[in-house]
Structure 1
Amino acid sequence: MIKKNILDFSYDELVKEFTNLNLKKFRVDQVLDWIFKKHIFDFFEMTNISKNEREFLDEYFYISIPEPIDIQESKIDGTTKFLWKLEDGRTIESVLLFYPNRISACISSQVGCPLKCKFCSTGASGFERNLTPGEIVAQVLAIEKLKDVNINNIVLMGMGEPLLNYDNVLKAIRNWNNKKMKNLGARRITISTSGIADKIEELADFELDIRLSVSLHAPNNYIRDQIMPINAKYPIEEVVQSCKIYQEKTKNRVTIEYIAIKGLNDEEKHAQELADLLKGLKVMVNIIPVNPNPANYERPSKKFLNSFLNKLKENNIEATLRIEKGTDIDAACGQLKMRKKGVK
């Protein structure tokens, strides 16, 4: 008999599993309380369940938590980067970030990434597979236990493209939101996508009111083609149109991520073009100086960044320069995995 990872199930699926095994429904609530509230990942430590039932649970299920194989913590702001080993030996990354009003986690959705964005270390490592719902959820559980924190903000912007693992990502989000599990408000969960236009439109009909962040990184197709191969399939106009459809249905503001690269997309004329492109959308543009990357792109100067920001504001576009975290560690996704020699 093959044991099943209990974290791969939704609440209703787990109730059905337990019922089929002649276990009472309230045992589901007890087990989930131990896992999500007490961070106990061994059935034999769940002391309000009889010994016989603990043995029975252990016969049919297990709780898969990734193994930490490298952890880096910033001495500046406490930002912590985790490299995890999964059951099959593959590795993924997560990041823990501290803000005045929240504790946030950047969570991976795939092992590697198929999109191969030129500025991203994850894409350079290649794509191996999608994560299961349990592997997505378990990253948060592992961080909370290791660092003794309660994560109250989750962003799916670690390794991978979340909308290319659509069903598993949405199942993980439902579990985070479920009152018997993480019990995290939907507005505290964000999907960050490189612009999978058809899935953005589909996401507009998702029953939970989550947040959406779209990585645009260019004001036109010519520049975006150079840095984001996915633009060949989903050109910039199509991505923006999908955001408009999403916004019409949800009434929610969309965050536009814009990595600023010296000499490529950082001039005032690019800011004006971006403002024209986004006209009619309610957005917040998040300007991010490029991280160390495989293509050796350089960061713009503060002068260029501020000129870009001011040009957007002149056009009544809400915009901000991202507050950088973990600048003294490899805090951008993919950097730690690439640096770790000999790891799958």
Structure 2
Amino acid sequence: MPPVSDADQRINLLGLSQTALEEQIIAAGLPKFRAKQIWRWVWRHGLTNFDEMSDLGKPVREQLATMYKADRPAVSQRLNSKDGTIKWLLRFPDGNEAEAVYIPDKTRGTLCISSQVGCTLTCSFCHTGTQKLVRNLTVDEICGQVMLAMDELADWPAGRNGRRLTNIVLMGMGEPLFNYENVAEAMRIIMSGEGVAVSKRRITLSTSGVVPEIKRAGEELGVNLAISLHATRDELRDELVPINRKYKLAALIEACRNYPGLSNARRITWEYVMLDGINDSDEDCRQLLALIKGIPSKLNLIPFNPWPGSPYVCSKGDRIDAFAKRVLKAGYASPVRTPRGRDILAACGQLKSASQRIPRHKKAKTTETASA
């Protein structure tokens, strides 16, 4: 059973799989087919009010309302970028917060979601890494980010033509593979054809290199894999991405080479933040190409996005262009990611909530809702 708040003991339906919902409904003395009706109202139509579930009798709706809810996270703050990016600071029942970002494009709309409050990885170029890990997000909290975005984008019913949210990336706060069980269950729910129905081919999980879980994610979820790489030598990656001290580049590359389902149609995405004088030389590029040789790949070159107190500077434009051209000449797609949402600190590596570790004996403080 998913965690519930002290004030509201009802179970959040956003944390239940179809099978778990059926078990709940049967245990409540209701016929099994009611679970399918409820599932479609919640996941296909986005309803949160049982009174609106028109094919359920009033006594059933009243019973359900005493037992369940379909709550989204509260919005502490919504920021709108001049480029159309939206960033939500989301507050959970215990007072902790995490961020989600919607990035619109001409052909798709991508929602970047978080898997943890804070992060344990302490990557030196990442703002999120300066915030200590508070806790893992639960299944309903992960799914709730998707549901809230669809609410605010007016994307119901799910699966309709012209939907604004088409892609999901697990690239927000936290390391998804350090919260694998909850992330996996949430993605199975989101991928369900009878609900939100986001295809596994439109979901990308980004990891900094938790090697033991990479194969499992490929076998059980089949989603796209992105690797937060950023360096091609162990000594530099130890500094930039400290998890490399535990799982060295050789082990990471081997895990990627054996990722289930890997093909030219389903390539590994290598994320590489461009840091001036650190990892952007011609030699760095040569080593990068040698490292990924033989692996169906595409590279995502990311201009470093500054944040207050950051110790790095973005590579110069001509250096990024030269790097990208060498990669392209070697036969790899090498898009340079256009920074989005920089003005609201929503770009890659800029996310950081105000949450801190909250002692269990203290009641968490909440913040007022704001918009910009």
Do the structures match in fold with TM over 0.5? Answer: yes
Identity between Structure 1 and Structure 2 (%): 35
Which of 318, 324, 344 matches 1:303? 318
Q: Which residue does the alignment assign to 2:289?
A: 275
Give the 3-state SS of the residue equivalent to 2:180 in structure 1.
Answer: helix
RMSD: 2.1
Q: Residue 106 of structure 1 corresponds to which residue in structure 2?
A: 112
Equivalent of 2:49, from 38, 42, 54? Answer: 42
1:36-185 correspondence runs (5 A): 36-76=43-83, 78-149=84-155, 150=163, 151-185=165-199
1:324 corresponds to: 339
1: distance between equivalents of 2:32 and 2:194?
Answer: 12
CA distance in 2, matches of 1:304, 1:48: 61
**1:217-271, Cα deviation, whole Å (9 max, x unpaired):** 1111121111111110111111111101115x54331000001111100111100
> Where does the alignment leave 5 or more consecutive residues of structure 2 unmatched?
1-7, 156-162, 357-364, 368-372
Alpha-carbon separation, structure 2, partners of 1:295 and 1:65? 33
Q: Which stretches in structure 1 are left out of the alignment for 5+ residues?
A: none
Of 256, 263, 266 in structure 1, the residue corresponding to residue 280 of structure 2 is 266
- Taking structure 1 as the reference length, the TM-score comes to 0.93
Contact 2:305 2:349 in 1 (8 A): no
Query: Structure 1 stretch 170-179 or stretch 333-342: which is displaced more?
Result: 333-342
- In 1, Cα distance between equivalents of 2:24 and 2:93: 23
Instruction: Report the TM-score, using the length of structure 2 for normalisation.
Output: 0.86
Please identify runs of 4+ aligned residues in structure 1 that moved more than 6 A.
339-344
3-state SS of 1:154 partner: strand
Q: Is the 8 A contact 2:117 2:355 kept in 1?
A: no
Question: In the alignment, is residue 229 of structure 1 matched against residue 229 of structure 2?
Answer: no
Separation of aligned partners in 2, 1:286 and 1:307? 14
Quick one: distance in 2 between partners of 1:284 and 1:135?
Answer: 31
Which amino acid is the alignment partner of residue 11 of structure 2?
K
Aligned to 1:195: 209
SS of 2:87's partner is strand
Deviation string, structure 1 residues 60-82 (Cα, Å, up to 9, x no partner): 22223101111111122x11011
Using the alignment, how far apart are the partners of 1:90 and 1:304 within structure 2?
40
1:22 corresponds, among 8, 29, 34, to 29
* Deviation for aligned residue 1:319: 1.5
Check the 8 A contact 1:103/1:152 in 2, yes or no.
yes
Which moved further from structure 2: 319-328 or 267-276?
Answer: 319-328
SS in structure 1 of the partner of residue 56 of structure 2: coil
Q: Secondary structure of 2:289's partner?
A: helix
SS in 2 for 1:32: helix
Look up the SS of the partner of 2:95 in the other structure: coil
Q: Report the CA distance shift for 1:203/1:22 in structure 2 as closer, same or farther (over 3 A).
A: same
- Measured after TM superposition, the shift of residue 48 of structure 1 is 2.9
